[in-house]
Every structure is written in structure tokens, then in C-alpha cells.
Amino acid sequence: MLQDDRRICRFALQTMPGEYLLLKKCTVFCLTSLAVLAGPLLADSPPAEAVHIVSDIPVRHFSEGCTGVAALRTLDVHSALGDIYQHSDYRPIWTNSRRMDSLRTELRQLSNDGLIPADYAYALHAPVPADLCDDLRITSEYLLALEHLRFGRFVQNEHEPVWLAPGQPPRLGPTLLELAVDALDDPRAAFERARPALPLYRQLRAAYAALPDRPLDFLPIPAGPTLKPGQNDPRLPQLAQRLIAKGYLQELSWQRIRAQPLRYDAALEQAVRAFQADHALETDGLVGRQTLAALNVTASERKQQVRINLERLRWLSALRDEYVVLVNSAGGDIRLYRGQDRVWASRVQVGTKARQTPLLVSRINRLTLNPSWTIPPTILREDKLPEIRKDPAYLQAHDLHVLDYSGRYLNPLDIDWNNPRGVMLRMAPGPKNPLGRMVFRFPNPFSVYLHDTPSQHLFSRAARTVSSGCVRVQSAGDLADRLVAEMGEAQQQRIQGLLDRGRTYELSVPDGPQLILSYWTTEVNAAGRLIHMPDPYDLDPALMAVFQQADAAATAKMRAPHSTQPRDVGRSEDSLFETILQ
């Protein structure tokens, strides 16, 4: 009988493409027959003869006939299933209770990563696999969970598009299939390898896991005049209550504030300043519009903010190289990483909401010393031309030269500034040059770069969205030293000499670091506190809505009748087909 079944299966595999439906039905029949005749394939160690026969049958043809197999973004799930089951010698994977318990434990713990276990509900709740379709469906959800953890639950470019330079991102770490296959007997190890190792992510994950499942929300503090130290105001008890709940104020201070008169005292001011520091606000102790808005963000909304930033850090982790410069436009800072170690950091100024610093991945490949500044078209059109039209002396006062597109100097008096054509403005190197003493260049279509700046006083601001899209680096010289250190001491000395001469020089930066211009609005600081930043480009609400919609869909699917029942591959048709074959 086994020999007959072998011939039937091989006949099916030789069926012409036009007979694809027959092939699928015969594949189902072959596997079902083997489960009955060759000793159950559900056993961990089926007979060698059965394994050999199943290995002649493409798994993808069978999986395509199974309902409920999870779709993947980064792989064809049916091909992936074929590779995995080939690795397992075509044995069922999830009939092993220890392995299945380990998988379910890891799936439940994904809630600490801001993922929703309902996305993997079948693997979490299905009974012991009754046939190969059950096993395949669980494996597909295992792959889906690893994909979400490794690359993100959503496609970044569908929500917060990022431009990638040629060759970016580099391929680092295991592929999704390698993650699944290499630790097939130990799901915990597979999930640990898939989870981003970047400390930013691990710390934020721990902070998210520590947040209450059902945060306690307060009524908003009413709007009104700015609250200042020493003042009386009926809103002070509510303010104090909010700061106590957030851990910034001791209960004794609250009891004192409750007494009449209601006075904004030193203890309350200190708590307000600490709150402002953790929310990237001016630490002035004044409860104005921005501080009040931050205080009125509910605990539930803050938890959602942490959750979406775990997703952003998964996106970032999937893009990053081992040697990388990270810029966070929301936080206004820059960091240099070697592996998981942050070796340098500084503040930056980034683009305004109207002229946002783009999201991109590139690589620093040039350093310009004592740069001139050719004014970009947008700044020329929107900023400079109105000033020139108001005051023709503006050019001379700001050391601006007029050139044609060939680089020849023109007489400003010969230009019709109401309709200038074929001209550009350039500022020579010097102390007034907005680019400062150096520019870090990298391929990109936005004409943006990292650069030094004479506007050092702006770095003291809490909100540093002030540029036209480029990234101004507070300690640009320190960053240059670190990049040049890779070139040797002689080159370092040469560069310092070139800087001192005041002339423009272009230097190649061989094997420069990857650069990621990114965006996240919450993290854990050096003191271990969860801090929240403003959302200067208003990106958080849209991503929160995406999560809410996906959560609702996953929950509805999980609650649907028979959603976790074994698949039905057209059983009546299969029975008829089996009868015909018999």
C-alpha cells in the first residue's frame, strides 16, 4: 500500500502546470494517507520511510491549501515553510510539548515589546496540532512574530518614509529564516536573537513592561494664566496631585499645598522643574502652555507613546550598522555608536516643522573644512530674496556674493531682484558663515548635511527645531576628531593645519560611519528615568492610530467564531477526491 501511495504522490508531482488543482488535492491526500498508513506524522520521530516520502512532496503546495497561514512581508511564507520543514526532516514541529510551551511563553512576552499577542492567537490558543495544516499555521505565526520583532510590526515606509542611499542598509545579523531555523528547538533563543540589542530599545522595553496595564488617568488641569512660583491659584492642588502621581512630588508637600492659601512654594517649583527636564521643556519652573499640555497628556497616551517608539527603534535597529551616527530630530541630539556602545554624544539643531529634517540612511564620506555656503534654492526664494528686495545693501552687510551657475561673479546691481534668473548666492568662509568651520557630507537628494554653526547660543534651548533641514552639531570639532582619528595621527595634524589656514578643503572620509537621521519621542535617560520629548513634526498621532486600528483588527479576528479551530481545506472536495483515487 505504501508503494501505491508513493506512486500516486510521484504522479502528482509530475502533473503538468495546468493540473495544479489536481496537484494540490493529491498532495493533501498523500500527506493524509501517510499520517494513517506510515505511522502518524504527528510523532516527533516518524518512520524513515514516511519522512522520505514526504520529502518528495513540496511543502508549499500543501501550505497553499491550508487556511489561516500567516502572511509575511519579508519572505514568501510558503517557500519559508518549505525550508523550515526541510531543516526539520519534514517532521511536525509543534507536537513536542516542551517546544510548544516555550513558543507560547515567548509570544505572551511580546506584549512587553509593545506587540499584541492577538496577532499570533492561533499559535497561542490552538490545541495540539491535529494535522500538518495546524503545524504549518503555527509555524507561520512563529515566523510572523520573529518578523515583527526583528523588522517591526509595520512597514516603515508606509507610515514614516525613510530615504535609503545606495548600499544602505547593510545586511547585518541573521535573516528571518536563519533566526527561525537556527533555534528551531529553542524558540526562546530565536526570539532573543530577533529582539533589537540596541540599549535604547532594551531600556525602553523594560520601562514599558513596568508601566501599569491599566494606567490611572486624571482630569485635565484647566487652562489659565501661567503659574509662577509664589503665586496663589485654585489649580495648584490639581497640579500637585498630578506631580505626586508621576513621582515628582512627595506626599507631605501635597498636604501642605492643600491648606489655604494655595501657594506655589519651593517644593512645588522643584517638582515642576524636574518634570520639565524629563519632558524636554524649558526648566524655568513656570507652568505655561507647553508645560500644561505635557502635564495633561494622560497616562494611557504616554503608554501608547512608549509603545510606538519601541516600533520606531525596531525600524532603526533593522537599518543600522555597527559603526553609526544617530541623529534624533525629536530629541535634538546626535550619538556615535560602536556596536552597542555609545562613544560620543552632543546636541543638535534640526529643521523646523515647515522645513523638516528628512528621515534617511546614508554614510558620511566627505569632510569640508572652512566651507563656503551656497544658499539652497528654498532659502534663497523664501528668506533671502524678500530681504534683498527690501534693502539692496543686505548682500554686502551679510557678505553674500552673486554668481551665475558657472561660478562667475556677477554685479548685484545688474540683477533684477524682482525676477532673478540663473543666479545663486554664496558666502565665503569666515566667522559669519552659517556652516561654521566644517561640514560632514553624505549622499542624499535633499541637499542636507551635518555642520558646525556660529549660532551656539541656540543649543541652550530645550526645543532646537530651528534650521532649514540641515543638522547643526554643537561639538562638530569633537565629531571630526573621532572620524579623523581613524585616519591616523599625521592626518589629524594635517587637518588642524588646514583649518587654521582658513581656506576651503575637501577631504575624503574612507570607511566613514553610517548616518541615520531618525525620530523617536521617548527613551530612558542615563538616570534610568523614562523621559518624553515633544513631537515637533506631529508624527506620533498617526502612528498611534495605526496601532489602534491593527489592534482592533487582530482582536476582532481572535474573537471571531472558530478563529482558532483547525483549518478546513475544502474537506468535502478532498473526501470526494480520495474516493476517486481509491
Is pLDDT at 349 greater than 80 in this prediction? yes
pLDDT of residue 486: 72
Strand partners, 361: 164, 516
pLDDT of residue 58: 66
pLDDT of residue 26: 42
**Per-residue model confidence as pLDDT tens digits over 469-504:** 999 999 999 999 899 887 777 777 788 888 888 899
The top-scoring range by mean pLDDT among 232-236, 271-275, 570-574 is 271-275
* pLDDT band at 57; cut points 50, 70, 90: low
* pLDDT band at 13; cut points 50, 70, 90: very low
**Per-residue model confidence as pLDDT tens digits over 58-89:** 677 778 888 899 999 999 999 999 999 988 88
C-alpha cell of 343? 562613544
Residue with cell 500543501: 62
Q: What's the rounded mean pLDDT across residues 207-225?
A: 91
Between 45 and 430, the higher pLDDT residue? 430
The residues, any chain, with a CB within 8 Å of residue 199's CB and separated by 6 or more, are: 340, 342
* pLDDT band at 295; cut points 50, 70, 90: very high
pTM for this prediction: 0.85
What distance in Å separates the CA atoms of residue 555 and residue 547, rounded to the nearest whole number? 12
- Residue 322 contacts residue 513 (beta carbons within 8 Å): no
Strand partners, 379: none
Rounded to the nearest integer, the mean pLDDT of the chain is: 85
Q: What's the rounded mean pLDDT across residues 303-315?
A: 98
Is pLDDT at 544 greater than 90 in this prediction? yes
Is pLDDT at 569 greater than 80 in this prediction? no
Q: Which of 566, 548, 347 is nearest to 464 (CA)?
A: 347
pLDDT of residue 108: 97
* pLDDT band at 558; cut points 50, 70, 90: confident
Continuous H helices in 280-384: 289-295, 299-319, 377-379
Is pLDDT at 314 greater than 70 in this prediction? yes
What distance in Å separates the CA atoms of residue 343 and residue 311, rounded to the nearest whole number? 24
Is pLDDT at 463 greater than 70 in this prediction? yes
Is pLDDT at 369 greater than 70 in this prediction? yes
Select 326-529's CATH number: 1.10.10.1100, 3.30.1540.10, 3.30.365.10, 2.40.440.10.
2.40.440.10
**Per-residue model confidence as pLDDT tens digits over 40-51:** 444 444 444 444
Domain spans, the chain = 2-195, 236-297, 326-529
C-alpha cell of 552? 482592533
Is pLDDT at 16 greater than 80 in this prediction? no
Is pLDDT at 132 greater than 60 in this prediction? yes
pLDDT of residue 255: 55
pLDDT of residue 258: 57
433: DSSP letter: -
Residue with cell 523588522: 151
Residue with cell 498636604: 255
What distance in Å separates the CA atoms of residue 349 and residue 364, rounded to the nearest whole number? 18
Give how far Cα 353 sits from Cα of 240, 349, 357, Å.
33, 12, 9
- Residue 161 contacts residue 177 (beta carbons within 8 Å): no
Q: Domain 236-297: which CATH class?
A: mainly alpha
**Phi, psi for 127 (deg, rounded to 5):** -70, 180
**Per-residue model confidence as pLDDT tens digits over 380-399:** 999 999 999 999 899 988 88
- Residue 205 contacts residue 113 (beta carbons within 8 Å): yes
pLDDT of residue 252: 62
Is pLDDT at 118 greater than 80 in this prediction? yes
C-alpha cell of 568? 478546513
Buried b (16+ CB within 10 A) or exposed e, 354-381: ebbbbbbbbbbbebbbbbebbbbeebbe
- Residue 153 contacts residue 115 (beta carbons within 8 Å): yes
Q: What's the rounded mean pLDDT across residues 321-348?
A: 97
Strand partners, 362: 515
Between 195 and 252, the higher pLDDT residue? 195
Continuous H helices in 38-70: 48-55, 59-63
Q: What's the rounded mean pLDDT across residues 5-22?
A: 35
pLDDT of residue 492: 76
pLDDT of residue 257: 54
Q: Which of 18, 30, 523 is nearest to 308 (CA)?
A: 523
What distance in Å separates the CA atoms of residue 484 and residue 304, rounded to the nearest whole number? 41
What distance in Å separates the CA atoms of residue 155 and residue 546, rounded to the nearest whole number? 11
- Residue 521 contacts residue 533 (beta carbons within 8 Å): yes
Is pLDDT at 293 greater than 90 in this prediction? yes
Between 567 and 151, the higher pLDDT residue? 151
Dihedral of the alpha carbons of 431, 432, 433, 438, in degrees to the nearest 10: 30
pLDDT of residue 10: 36
**Percentage above 90 pLDDT, the chain:** 65
